[in-house]
Structure 1
Amino acid sequence: MAQVATSICHSLGNTEINSSYQITHPKSRRVRHNKTSTTNQDKFQNEEYWHMGDASYECEFCHALFWYEERTQTHYNTNDPKYTLCCRGGQVEIPHLQEALKVLYDLLFGNDIRSKHFCDNIRTYNSMFQFTSMGAKIDRTVANGRGPQTFILYGENYHLMGSLIPQEGNTAKFTQLYVFNTHNEIHNRISTVSGENNNKINEDIVRELKKMLNENNVLVKAFRMVREKMGADHRSTIKLRLLGKRDRDIVVETQSERLQRINQLNPAYLGLQSPLLFPYGEDGYKEDIPLNKKSSNSEGGCQNRGLPHAHILLFLHRDDKYPTGEDIDRIISAKIPDKDTDPIYYEAVEKHMMHGPCGNIKKDSPSNSDKDGCDEVSMYYDYRYISPCEAAWRIFGYNIHYREPSVVRLGFYLPGEQPVVFQDHENLADVARKASVKESMFLGWFEANKKYNEARSLTYAEFSSKFVWKPAPRKWYPRKSHSVIGQIFFVPPGSGEIYYLRLLLNFVRGPTSYEEIRTIDGVLYSTFRDACYTQGLLDDDKEYIDAIEEASH
């Protein structure tokens, strides 16, 4: 089997973690993109959904896998896409993913009953080997009725670590299981998950995982070293320091009643919580990864390769909207899944999304709440939350919002009245000689109409859909790609001649001067208002109706 980069996402312990293993067969070093065969794609093809396929494009530097749509230059198609989200084009060097450990690989990807059992209980197995526990401020008083378990979590959740040795009379758990009473370690670990139906735990799997971590996990080796140093004398005073940065070191004492909070920026943070996702004890996140080249951007990097997503609000054209409830029902399913055809979904909905009567019939129902005196604005801020995917989206520098197609704003002005921006210390004569004054977008439109035949058939607003303005040479050139919409600056009707100029710009095609804009049927008029009147734009309220209709689009 060739080398495959496989992404694994499991809810381990009490938090959902994304990580990756690099799976390599010892006899092969070729990279395979693991594309789905045409037959399988056709089998699962659904015309109502867009299947993007697998992430089969590699970064040429770090070999991270991407979808084609994640390339840097998205405004044109290419056979050689470039990617920078992973290593900034080779500027950031992070350790390559290590080969998946055979024990873990067989358990995750085997086809036997043993593998299925492990995958179904992977959270439990991970919990047995966690170094840290989860902490949070939780209010369970709201769970006072029927329905799914309900609680309120205040603030953020966090991870905690205790001492090396438990207090007298207490049982060992988490980190302590690596140091204390290790002669009965397998039994002790299974006992820690008694609340998770430990009669289903496979003791052989626990023993294999323990051996695997002992031999490969650097964090486990550190705690095992403490056990050897301590020996049978638990009165020894030993401290283990896991280095982080500045005040983010983790110092584990021999015996303490205090639980310490682990800083989420410590490189060992994820490895301590999810040892089965980080079986080597490798760093999950590291600050200030140095760049190979000089860069003005801030240094940093993240070794997690998650999959951000976005919530997108679309405004549909009236011809594409779904005006009735029947139309909505055809694209959104809001019904209980069929118990016979979809038993898994049915069980999930029944367990987590259904409850008994509410309202006046059953006032203690979880769905009821006292809204008297409720400040909705305060509630919004109290419950605001930046999810990991949104945080990653912002770290990667993606646009928070964008408009498609792009809108080009088109300025214009009366002869000799071009707005000019300059600094207080600049000489006015020098300002008047600037290229931005003599060669504006509007005057450049006249010149382009002289040069290109296609331009002669376009109005000013239509012009930008076929031509693009290049700031450096200050000229218009034929557009090769990327659809845009032109929008002429708004002018109030009471503005005089410039308002009438704007009216004419919506109708006159391909003029090469101000005079041609004022020329109607071969007659040159002295003012733009007279030209508008001759064109029939001022006979009634048509100009106001046109302005309202334009604004509505």
Structure 2
Amino acid sequence: MLSTSFIGGPRDMRRQYMDAMALVRKFGKPDIFLTMTCNPNWDEITRELHPMQSPQDRPDLVVRIFRAKLEELKKRLTKQHILGKIRAYVYVVEFQKRGLAHAHFLLIMQRKYKLTCPEQYDLLISAEIPDKKKYPQLYKMVIKHMMHGPCGLLNPKCQCTKGRASCKNHYPRAFSNATSQGKDSYPIYRRRDDGRKKTVRGCELDNRWVVPYNPYLLRLFNCHVNVEACGSIKAVKYLFKYIYKGHDRASVAVTDANKADGDVDEIKQYRDARWVTPPEALWRIFSFDRSQNSPPVMQLQLHLENMHMVSFHERAKVNHVVQHPGVDRSMLTAYFEANRLHEEARGILYRDFPEWYTLQQGKVWQRRKRNTGGQVGRIVSAHPAEGERFYLRLLLNHVTGATSYADLRTVDGDTLPSFREAAQRRGLLEADDTIDECLNEAAIYQMSSALRRLFATILLYCKPNDVAELWQRHLDSMSEDYHRSTQSKTHVQQMVLIDIRNILQSMGKDIKTFPLPTIIDRYDDSHGTDREIYEEESIKPTTEDVAMKETLNEE
């Protein structure tokens, strides 16, 4: 198994994603999305090359210079506040298959500096070719670094158009005399039809092909620096999922159908499938940071009594492990102890504890000398199907001052036998409030596909009282990805229903047993066929695939 401690692994990327979404919960949605790509022709790189060398021959030099530029960008953003004062930020460094590094930043601005209207967008972001006579250097850099394509009809072989009728990035954009707010997406930037054109890679391009940029940053760094204003809260999950997507990877395995499934070797799968370029290898060798978020996020442990994780050497004897001093302590039990010892701690929720207290060696919470808001807490997630652990988390999110597990189960002087009953007595389970809260919290950080699976799991295991009301409340969050491909509300609703039906089928349950809208046949291409069979039968081989059959060996 690949643990969370393995940097760049799937669990590590998910942890970073959850940490980033904890910042969104605390400080609100990001305001600016910024991408900086390495320029292999930077003067700092080319002047250090030996005769007959190219930047590709010196990945060590390329990554060192890019890292220096990245640190300078971070300083300009967070220390000099060139785009405004920042409340929180995250960034991730990625490596393209062809080797060029790029960094994605998401910036959450302080309230005074948030972008709230098109006029503010125009102060920071431009999507037009500048005046060549007035800004000659900026003009050259926009033409060199910020012109998309050409693609589409002008160049069907372009990477963003392959297999498509048009550019996947929606270029060329439409002309617009003024910036306006887009719906659940980036703003529609000002792109005036001012007659400015330039021949780029053999095609005449105008303002419709300009990638949005900040003139100051582009002029300063002389590389591709895409700066976008984040349009709405609904785009946040997709932005964070994009920057934490991890390596490009693909793996195919052939096994004997007669043999029972063996153990899954995640380490082997990862090593066989990942793609690592020389610059990324050097980046890791130099121990440069792949990502960072500020303020830092602390993952708060969640476990039932005496069910916490204990680490020990593989050769240690069990009785020595059990008798080791402090083995019975955990982050959560230390929280209970802090509530017993410090009266001022009793009004703070467990998830907010890292803002006021710091965890010292020996698992002891100590009051911060200065509350600078230097850390954000995040209780690790729990699924409703986990039972008591889920209800423990529910109580910790609502109850302050608990001094033990038993105290957390005590309501009005009565110590109840389970956390579920304690939550019920406190009114946290009235009607479908808990389920509703669970879906609302999941909607902050989960993709729509995961929300649909969670909804199906809740239907099966949690037995909500008002399924129809729950469906209406969460349909929008469960259908965000489908809204990107179709505008028909009926069609979107049907696609969500079909997906939930397929998930329930895989769990051995029929969607018709729940009071949900009826699936309309014309929207259901599978017509009720088992999902696995339908997916296999739906594969359409290409002409090239069919032709390749003739090249196979006879055996």
Report the TM range for the smaller structure's normalisation: 0.3 to 0.5
* TM-score of the two chains, using structure 2 as the length reference: 0.38
Does 1 or 2 have the higher relative contact order (CA < 8 Å, sep 6+)?
2
Larger radius of gyration: 1
* TM-score of the two chains, using structure 1 as the length reference: 0.38
Structure ranking higher in helix proportion: 2
